[in-house]
């Protein structure tokens, strides 16, 4: 499949998509698994919550969120990758209240009912900035008033201040859009897009953040 944004690294394809979870587990020596569990715990998900997971990948996150929603809430995963979608459906097959949609998150869409929570994990940094603003508009339009946008992604920092060894890794594995993402003030951008009442949690020496923002 040809990429929508050729310079993006979040349009995961081929081998990387097929073995996405396994590769993350191996290269992080299991640390990623503990991190993602703790990040999803920090979302404080309630049993009846209706959650939209944008760029949902393999469904690993949806399965973890289902531990909190149980069978009373609902989770919709959206992604464009056929490989990721197949894994999502396999991984979440046991849950009647978890569904998958093959849908681009960067073009306008309106779901039947607005959601309590929109979750986006390591996707937004991989888009050109003008596209990120379109994604934010989609999130705003598909949230209930008072609903939460939970953005799990790189936090705000100056690349030049990053220790050399981390900077080399970051520049090797991440795309040019990520370099620009980390230097932006996301609380300000979200405030301008109609969000407020921020709450944040950090991991990995504060290079990764869960930023929770309420729709005003
Ligand atoms: C880096 S992976 C993260 C997957 C998952 N959120 C996680 O944390 O494990 C990025 C995901 O975003 C999806 N994606 C990229 N561009 C997209 C788009 N325009 N619309 C929907 N999904 C997209 C990819 O297919 C991939 O599954």
Tell me if the pTM is above 0.85. Answer: yes
> 210, 200 in Cβ contact below 8 A?
yes
User: Mean pLDDT across the stretch 13-17?
Assistant: 92
Which DSSP string corresponds to 182-193?
A: TTS-HHHHHHHT
Burial call 70-89: b when 16+ CB within 10 Å, e when fewer: eeebbbbbbbbbebbbebbe
Looking up residue 189, the CATH number of its domain turns out to be: 3.40.50.150
158 CA distance to ligand 1 centroid (A)?
25
Instruction: Answer yes or no: is the C-beta of 121 below 6 A from any ligand 1 atom.
Output: yes
Residue 137 lies in a domain: yes
The predicted-structure confidence for 18-61, as pLDDT tens digits, reads as follows 999 999 999 999 999 999 999 999 999 999 999 999 999 999 99
Residue 91 lies in a domain: yes
Residue 1: band (very low, low, confident or very high) from pLDDT cuts 50, 70, 90:
confident
Burial call 123-143: b when 16+ CB within 10 Å, e when fewer: bbbbbeeebbeebbebbbebb
Instruction: Answer yes or no: is the C-beta of 116 below 6 A from any ligand 1 atom.
Output: no
Which DSSP string corresponds to 34-77?
A: HHHHHHHHHT---TT-EEEEET-TTSHHHHHHHHHHTTTSEEEE
Pocket test for ligand 1, best of 13, 33, 37, 57 (most atoms within 8 A of CB): 57
Asked whether the predicted pLDDT for residue 202 surpasses 80, the reply is yes
Residue 4 lies in a domain: no
Which structural domain, as residue segments, surrounds residue 204? 14-215
119 three-class SS: strand
Percent of the chain with pLDDT over 90: 98
Residue 146 lies in a domain: yes
Residue 167 lies in a domain: yes
User: Mean pLDDT across the stretch 124-137?
Assistant: 98
Give pLDDT, residue 213. 98
Residue 57 lies in a domain: yes
Asked whether the predicted pLDDT for residue 129 surpasses 80, the reply is yes
Residue 203: band (very low, low, confident or very high) from pLDDT cuts 50, 70, 90:
very high
Give pLDDT, residue 59. 98
- For residue 123, give the ligand 1 atom closest to its CA: 10
Residue 1 lies in a domain: no
Residue 62 lies in a domain: yes
User: Mean pLDDT across the stretch 139-161?
Assistant: 97
Split into its structural domains, the chain has a count of 1
């Amino acid at each position: 499949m040809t990429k929508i944004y050729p310079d993006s690294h979040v349009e995961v394809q081929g081998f990387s998509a097929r073995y996405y979870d396994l590769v993350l587990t191996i290269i992080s020596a299991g640390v990623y698994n503990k991190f993602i569990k703790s990040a999803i715990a920090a979302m404080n998900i309630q049993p009846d919550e209706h959650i939209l997971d944008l760029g949902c990948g393999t469904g690993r996150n949806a399965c973890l969120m289902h531990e909190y929603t149980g069978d009373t809430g609902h989770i919709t995963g959206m992604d464009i990758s056929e490989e990721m979608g197949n894994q999502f459906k396999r991984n979440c097959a046991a849950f009647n209240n978890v569904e998958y949609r093959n849908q681009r998150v960067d073009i306008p869409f309106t779901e039947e009912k607005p959601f309590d929570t929109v979750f986006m994990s390591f996707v937004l940094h991989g888009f050109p900035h003008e596209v990120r603003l379109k994604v934010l508009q989609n999130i705003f339009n598909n949230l209930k008033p008072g609903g939460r946008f939970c953005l799990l992604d790189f936090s705000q920092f100056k690349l030049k201040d990053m220790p050399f060894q981390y900077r080399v890794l970051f520049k090797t594995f991440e795309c040019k859009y990520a370099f620009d993402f980390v230097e932006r003030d996301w609380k300000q951008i979200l405030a301008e897009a109609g969000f407020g009442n921020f709450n944040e949690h950090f991991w990995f020496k504060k290079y990764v953040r869960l930023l929770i923002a309420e729709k005003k």
